[in-house]
Chain A
């Protein structure tokens, strides 16, 4: 079969009873973005703007003895220098960071190091100057005296007997209680379901392996940035690229000890984030510099700083043991996962533990999770954080079992697949989910059904990620021409303002183009949580739905007043208000809008919600690979991504998420890693040496959107932003096994590792 005689992008729709939803309008911000007019964080300019630069630690672990900033302060053009001493004293407490939480003093210590530096690239001091070059020169004049300490770079080193300790006051939380033992292990937790000993006894076949993965970065093309103006009236205004303007506001409030009401965060357009732009880095530093100078200060990270001084996703060590009967029923599974948190506690091992067995209905399971600090940057969220690491092991183990049993790997998964009512080992019971439908769509796809050419290995895998609910707010005002303005607070990282506007348009019966969405600052819209957790189209879309319903109800009410009839006798469909009993009574939304002012005033709908009913999404891949025998280089020849979207609001942008997540996963599988020196220095902190996929490295990414409606959303939406990065690494590893017979247990699967496995 050639690759052109089937449909490359398919939507398996179960409900097409919509006018706007499921269509593919041009996005509302599109023209600004193809003409260079869209304003991103680094593009923002303010009157009297100063430029900030940050001095970073050259050591992975060292005590700061002293910082002398006097020479830097004396340099012509330098306006201020700050260190952590410029932060107000604050009580330690737990602060929420979007999807995550952290200790306030850890957050502060990460923004500007206090007594110790904990990784190469850890911020130590910062300068504001008339231009960035002067600020950079001034950094070299700051004299920091360090007492260099030994560092720990891996979970093994960190957990070894007598290991160097990062935090002298950190004791291990062991199964929910403080052990009192000072250690680099911040936490060890377990999830238990059934009886794992009995389960393994009942198994006919057991597979067990250890898998290791390296630190990788989200790789957004736009570096972190932020501009701060701390006014003389005590008000702080921030302009920055962030996934959550309210997270920035609330974190700054905690760090700087000023009320949220005095902080306004204006989110600019954002050049990618993938989870990495949830935490704050430069914003508080710019704020301190602005407070000292009384003028706006902008800080833009370099690419090297973005690699070394922001939050990648962790390296991990994972052991997976799974047992099954010869008929293909899994009897027991155990996952042991240690993840590098980086310099401060808080790796995504908790989420990994929730995801590792989520696809399967298991009677007996045990999951151990360890959160381990090491001398690397504090990790941050990266698209389905933790789940890809876990799936790399679990989904290979399942293929290994299927082969030993003699079953097709998809049939084997279908025999054990989770469905509505399945209780995950970590507790929650699934509502309606689409794992089975995704596996069936994979099995039935022309790609899986096609025969393989010589020299091609084929792999499959499936993965899971949640959606979160959380707060979203939305206001919709009716214009007198019958269009509406929609105000929301979810920063748009990949077309979400259009998918949100389309949900309002559907309710009002107007075209997507007749809704004008704006993403506004924190003074202008109600609290809205981060663009993360695959929540934006789900939750903010739902807020838009509710606000549009509010507008609709008011329009009906208004028409009832105009016609002097009961509102219960009226309906509004396709943008027309009409009587259900009197066919003479009919008015378009536009006609009503024209007379709004004279019939009682403007019409504005509003909603502020915190929805439950989150769905979760499953995503599966089929990949064909070839391997260059001489170099060991893996090439992805054909790739198919299948994902349950619940209901695809804008299929092009759903496909875009699937294709983008797939390719990030392919990069993770084949090339991407932090090359660390023995001294803890990243040796490849450029986009040449940190090798993300280019257009030339890839085939087209075929897609199948499965729609198993989420009963917890008015349109059945499931968030689709993240699950698609989960299956690529095990899919490719399974394809390599298919071709070579070698199990790849380390990421990335570099040419060298492929050759080494062949020579074993």
Chain B
């Protein structure tokens, strides 16, 4: 038994595949991804846009998916952490994070990887300050950011040398 709601049909492209889903107008994109579509790699840390754990790429821009409504995903192209690796080949950013020990508990990692990917797509050789500035919307409480920043530098190098 559920409350009657006016669910909305939304069609979008998620990680390169066309996806249809029904959502309530009040549901955030984060909720839709996690609870309706079943992509739980995107995490909720605060639900008010301040921690960055729910960062996804929407039409080429990174957004905190808790501040986007599911209905706004109509016609949009969305990339989540599940779409970063190419099949069983990890993305250079993922490899750099692994080898650089850039994660401890790992809950913020999907958001950091999505944000890093967007940074390196537009700035392949960022300075330390540019990395820190770009990632300032993603909170990590475990690492003190040192190994994250170094892994982003390493990932940038790997991508430039590719």
Contacts and interface: CB of A to CB of B under 8 A. Distances in A.
Given A30-B98, A37-B41, A76-B3, A660 B142 contact: yes
B39 A656 contact: no
Given A687-B51, A700-B146, A694 B104 contact: no
Given A36-B110, A130-B1, A692 B146 contact: no
Interface in A251-281: 269-274
Given A38-B106, A272-B142, A653-B104, A133 B45 contact: no
Interface string B30-52: 00001000011111111110110
Interface string B3-42: 1100000000000000000001010000000100001111
Interface stretch (A219-227, A396-404, A586-594, A606-614): A219-227
B48 A688 contact: yes
A132 to B, nearest CB: 8
Interface residues of A, number: 63
A39 interface: yes
Task: Give the interface centre of B53, B81, B143 by most chain A CB atoms within 10 Å.
Answer: B143
B45 A223 contact: yes
Interface string A677-702: 00000000011100011111110110
A40 B44 CA distance: 11
Task: Give the interface centre of A39, A219, A270, A660 by most chain B CB atoms within 10 Å.
Answer: A660
Contacts of A375: none
A130 B39 contact: no
A553 B138 CA distance: 49
B103 to A, nearest CB: 6
A479 B122 CA distance: 47
Interface residues of B, number: 61
B98 A494 contact: no
Contact of B43 (A134, A271, A688): A271
Nearest to B94: A34
Contacts of B128: 700
Contacts of A24: 101
Contacts of B138: 694-695
B141 A221 contact: yes
Contact of A303 (B48, B100, B113, B141): B48
A663 B149 CA distance: 14
Interface in A98-150: 130-131, 133-134
A672 to B, nearest CB: 11
9 contacts: A35-B90, A37-B41, A40-B43, A131-B2, A221-B43, A221-B105, A222-B105, A271-B45, A695-B135
Interface string B54-82: 00000000000000000000000000111
For chain B, what secondary structure do more than half of its interface residues adopt (helix, strand, loop), or is it mixed?
Answer: loop
B107 A222 contact: yes
Interface in A282-320: 300, 302-303
A652 B101 CA distance: 6
Given A662-B144, A687-B46, A494 B105 contact: yes
A43 B40 contact: yes
Contact of B3 (A134, A273, A274, A700): A134
Given A35-B82, A36-B80, A695-B131, A303 B46 contact: yes
B139 interface: yes
Contact of A696 (B2, B4, B97, B136): B136
Task: Give the interface centre of A35, A131, A273 by most chain B CB atoms within 10 Å.
Answer: A35
B65 to A, nearest CB: 13
Interface in A48-74: none
Contacts of B39: 36
A494 B53 CA distance: 17
A271 B107 contact: yes
Contacts of A271: 43, 45, 105-108
Given A693-B144, A695-B149, 20 more contacts: A34-B94, A34-B113, A35-B85, A36-B39, A39-B40, A42-B44, A76-B2, A219-B141, A221-B51, A269-B105, A271-B108, A493-B105, A653-B104, A659-B145, A659-B146, A660-B141, A687-B50, A692-B139, A694-B135, A695-B138
